Amino acid sequence: MRSVSVGGQEPLPFTAPERSARPRVRRQQPALERPSSYRLGGDLVATCGWAPGTEVVVDAAQRPGRGDVVAVRDEQRVRIGVFDRRFGRSVLVTDRGVAWIAPTAEVLGVVTLVGAALEGMPDPRSG
């Protein structure tokens, strides 16, 4: 089977399909999100030594690196801690120890600004 006539053999009726230029598929880059703020309470803020009611600003567009304070949502619970890597996996270091960041967890972003809780001020979200 040849595509050129050699020694009396007929060439096969083979024509390669023309290569059409495939349209390039561009990956949609996520829109840069504005920083979000969260009011923290309970023992959640004890990790970083902040008072309950502390408000933090989280930048979701910033990729966390080792040593950054990050907010992570895991199973509808927000946790704050220091981002690190152990044995090739992402972990959250808190005052209660080291916890793996599950693949299903959502890293909300890097904490960029912390506002101290003011004593005696009413919570605007409660009423």
What string of pLDDT tens digits covers the 127 residues of the chain?
455 666 777 766 777 667 777 776 666 555 555 668 777 776 656 666 777 778 888 888 888 999 999 988 888 788 888 999 999 899 998 878 888 898 889 888 898 888 877 766 565 555 5
* CB contact at 8 A, 60 and 125: no
pLDDT in tens, 71-106: 888 887 888 889 999 998 999 988 788 888 988 898
pLDDT of residue 85: 92
pLDDT of residue 83: 93
**pTM across the whole model:** 0.60
